[in-house]
C-alpha cells in the first residue's frame, strides 16, 4: 500500500516537471525580446551616460557664480624696503638672467650684455607684496566669507580687489571688512553691490556633520591665480587636527586638489551645497601633495550667524597655552600616570582669566566642566578644550580640575572656577604675551655662573624681571636636547623662583635623580616651559 502510493506521487511529479519545462520553452522568446528591448533603448542609455559625464559640469554651473577671486596688494614697510636695498651692491646687471633682471633698474640706458662700458650700480625695484585667494558669496547684499589669512592685517597700505565669476570687479572703498577671527581663520567682507551690474548669487549652506568618509566632493576657487578652477575628489577623513596649524582644528581632509590661492574657496557636496571652506594643504614642496583641508561649514556658519546677529563673532577664552606633545619625562616630572588624559599648561596669559583663577604653568588639566576629555591624541585633547571653552559666553563660570605636582609628593588635585573672558585676536594676544620685555643678550659685562643642568648662567635683572639668563649650553646635555637657547631667561625651577645660582642649586638639590626638573623661562618676552632631566 505504501509502495503503490509512492509510485503514484512519482508519476505526478514527473508530469508536472514536463509541463513547467514546456511552458518555459514557450515563453523564452518573449522574455528575451523584452530584455533586449529594454537594454537596447538608445535614448535611455544616452541619458544615463550624459548624467554621469556632466555631473561635475552641472555642479560647476551651479557653484561658480557664488565664488570670487580676492587680490590683496600690500606695500612693504620701510624696513623691508631698506633690507632689500642692501642687496643691490652684490649684483651686476650684465649677464644676469632675464628673470632676475626685471627686478632691477640699470640706472640709465639699456646696455647690451657685451657692452664693456662702465655701468652704474643697479637700483633694485621694490615690488609691493601681492597675494591672491578665493571667497564665497553669502548674501545678495554683498557679504563674502574667506580665510582670515587671505586678507591678512588690513591697514592703510593695503589694497583689496574682488573679481567675480563674470569678470566684474570691485576695489578700494567699496570693500569693507566686517569681521576677522584669525583663530578660526575666517573673515567676512562686504562689497558695495550698487557698483555691480549683475545680482550676486549666494551659495547654499550644507551640513558638514552629515558628511561621510568616501563621499564625493568638489572644490571651487582660484589656485595659482587660475580663476574658477574646479577639482573633484572624496572626503578622506574628518576631525583632522594639523600640528603646525594655528587655531581651531577638526578639519575636513580631501584629495580634491587644493593649491595656494584655493584658500577661502568652497568645498561642496554633489548637491552643490557648501560643506567646507578650503584652508590649507600639507606639503613638503609648497604645492599640493595629495591632501587638502577645509573648515567645516557648520563652524563657518556659526561664525557668520554671530556676525550677522551682533556685528561680531565672540567666543570664550581662558588664557592658557597648551603643550602639543606630553613626553614621558613631562609626566614623570609632575608625577602624572601615563594613562591619565589631560592638558599640560605651558603658560598663562598675564592677567588673563586662568591666571586670575590661580592656574599655573605645569598644571595638568584633567577636566573642564562636568565631562572628562574623550579624545585620545594629545592634539585632539587640546582641541577639545578649545571647543569646550569657545562654546561659553564671556562672563560664564566654568569649573576646571587640575593635578599639580612635581618631585617626591603625589600630585594634588585642585579645583578652580574660571570666569570666561572674550577671545582676543592673535595680534591682541601677542601684545598681551609681550607685556614682558624682550629678553635678548645685552652688551653689559657678564659674570659667568657655575654650570648646572648643562647650563652656564648669569643673574639677570631688567625692567622688573629677575632671573637667570643662559649664556652657554653644554653640547649633548639634557638642556640642549630641550632646545633651550642662550639668551633665554629662567624665572622658575621646580616652581621655585630663581634669581641666583644658589637659588637654582636649592631648587634642584633635593630633586630625586630620576625625576626631571621643571623649568619656566622667557624667550623674547613669551613664557615657555621645558622639562630637563638631571645630568
Name the 3-class secondary structure at 485: coil
263 is catalytic: yes
Q: Residue 300 in contact with residue 145, Cβ under 8 Å? A: yes
141 is catalytic: no
Among the listed residues 182, 185, 363, 488, the single catalytic one is 185
262 is catalytic: no
The count of C-alpha atoms lying within 13 angstroms of the C-alpha of 480, restricted to the half-sphere facing its C-beta, is 10
| Lookup result for grid cell 557664488 | 66
C-alpha cell at 86: 642692501
Any alpha helices (H) in 364-477, and if so which ranges?
A: 378-390, 426-433
Q: Residue 292 in contact with residue 254, Cβ under 8 Å? A: yes
C-alpha–C-alpha distance, residues 355 and 19, integer Å: 92
Q: Kind of pairing, strands 204-205 and 273-281?
A: parallel
Contacts of 297 (CB under 8 A, 6+ apart): 205, 206, 207, 208, 267, 273, 274, 275, 276, 277
Question: How buried is residue 391: exposed, middle or buried, by Cβ count under 10 Å (0-12/13-18/19+)?
Answer: middle
**Residue 158 parent element (H or E):** strand 158-164
Contacts of 121 (CB under 8 A, 6+ apart): 88, 89, 107
Instruction: State the DSSP string of 254-322.
Output: E-S---TT-TT-EEEETTSEEEEEEEEE--SSSS--S-EEEEEHHHHHHHHHHHHHHSS---EE--EEE
C-alpha–C-alpha distance, residues 341 and 58, integer Å: 48
Among the listed residues 66, 132, 134, 263, the single catalytic one is 263
C-alpha cell at 4: 503503490
b/e per residue 414-440 (b: at least 16 CB within 10 A): eebebebbebbebeebeeebeebeebe
DSSP-derived letter for residue 445 is P
Among the listed residues 66, 132, 149, 329, the single catalytic one is 149
Q: What angle do CA 393, 399, 403 make, to 5 degrees?
A: 135
The full length of the chain comes to 535
User: Catalytic residues, which ones?
Assistant: 149, 185, 263
Amino acid at each position: 500500500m505504501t509502495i503503490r502510493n509512492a509510485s503514484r506521487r512519482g508519476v505526478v511529479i514527473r508530469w508536472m516537471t514536463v509541463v513547467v519545462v514546456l511552458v518555459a520553452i514557450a515563453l523564452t522568446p518573449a522574455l528575451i525580446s523584452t530584455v533586449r528591448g529594454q537594454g537596447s533603448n538608445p535614448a535611455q542609455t544616452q541619458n544615463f551616460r550624459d548624467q554621469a559625464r556632466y555631473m561635475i559640469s552641472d555642479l560647476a554651473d551651479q557653484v561658480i557664480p557664488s565664488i570670487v577671486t580676492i587680490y590683496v596688494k600690500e606695500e612693504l614697510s620701510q624696513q623691508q624696503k631698506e633690507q632689500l636695498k642692501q642687496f643691490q651692491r652684490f649684483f651686476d646687471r650684465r649677464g644676469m638672467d632675464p628673470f632676475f633682471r626685471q627686478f632691477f633698474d640699470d640706472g640709465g640706458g639699456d646696455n647690451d650684455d657685451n657692452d664693456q662700458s662702465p655701468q652704474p650700480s643697479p637700483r633694485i625695484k621694490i615690488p609691493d607684496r601681492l597675494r591672491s585667494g578665493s571667497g564665497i558669496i553669502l548674501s545678495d547684499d554683498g557679504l563674502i566669507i574667506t580665510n582670515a589669512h587671505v586678507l591678512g592685517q588690513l591697514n592703510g597700505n593695503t589694497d583689496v580687489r574682488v573679481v567675480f565669476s563674470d569678470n566684474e570687479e570691485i576695489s578700494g572703498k567699496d570693500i569693507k571688512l566686517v569681521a576677522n577671527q584669525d583663530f578660526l581663520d575666517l573673515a567676512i567682507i562686504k562689497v558695495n553691490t550698487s557698483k555691480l551690474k549683475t545680482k550676486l548669487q549666494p551659495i547654499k549652506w550644507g551640513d558638514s556633520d552629515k558628511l561621510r568618509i568616501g563621499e564625493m566632493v568638489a572644490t571651487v576657487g582660484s589656485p595659482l591665480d587660475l580663476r574658477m578652477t574646479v577639482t573633484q575628489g572624496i572626503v578622506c577623513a574628518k576631525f583632522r587636527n594639523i600640528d603646525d596649524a594655528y587655531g581651531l582644528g577638526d578639519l575636513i581632509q580631501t584629495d580634491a586638489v587644493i593649491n595656494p590661492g584655493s584658500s577661502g574657496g568652497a568645498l561642496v557636496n554633489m548637491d552643490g551645497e557648501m560643506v567646507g571652506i578650503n584652508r590649507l594643504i600639507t606639503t613638503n614642496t609648497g604645492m599640493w601633495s595629495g591632501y587638502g583641508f577645509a573648515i567645516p561649514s557648520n563652524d563657518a556658519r556659526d561664525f557668520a550667524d554671530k556676525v550677522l546677529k551682533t556685528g561680531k563673532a565672540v567666543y570664550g577664552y581662558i588664557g592658557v597655552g597648551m603643550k602639543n606633545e606630553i613626553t614621558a619625562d613631562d609626566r614623570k616630572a609632575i608625577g602624572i600616570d601615563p594613562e591619565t588624559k589631560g592638558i599640560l599648561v605651558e603658560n598663562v596669559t598675564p592677567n588673563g582669566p586662568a591666571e586670575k583663577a590661580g592656574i599655573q604653568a605645569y598644571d595638568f588639566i584633567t577636566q573642564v566642566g562636568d565631562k572628562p576629555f574623550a579624545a585620545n591624541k594629545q592634539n585632539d585633547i587640546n582641541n577639545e578644550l578649545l571647543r569646550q571653552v569657545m562654546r561659553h559666553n564671556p562672563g560664564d563660570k566654568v569649573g576646571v580640575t587640575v593635578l599639580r605636582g612635581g618631585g617626591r609628593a603625589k600630585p594634588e588635585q585642585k579645583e578652580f572656577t574660571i570666569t570666561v573672558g572674550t577671545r582676543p585676536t592673535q595680534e591682541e594676544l601677542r601684545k598681551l604675551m609681550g607685556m614682558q620685555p624682550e629678553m635678548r643678550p645685552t652688551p653689559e659685562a657678564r659674570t659667568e655662573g657655575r654650570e648646572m643642568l648643562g647650563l652656564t648662567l648669569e643673574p639677570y635683572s631688567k625692567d622688573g624681571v629677575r632671573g637667570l639668563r643662559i649664556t652657554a649650553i653644554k653640547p649633548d646635555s639634557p638642556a640642549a636636547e630641550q632646545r633651550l637657547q642662550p639668551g633665554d631667561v629662567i624665572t622658575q625651577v621646580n616652581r621655585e623662583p630663581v634669581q641666583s645660582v644658589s637659588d637654582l642649586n636649592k631648587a634642584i638639590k633635593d630633586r630625586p635623580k630620576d625625576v626631571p626638573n621643571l623649568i619656566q623661562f622667557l624667550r623674547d618676552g613669551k613664557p615657555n616651559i621645558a622639562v630637563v632631566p638631571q645630568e
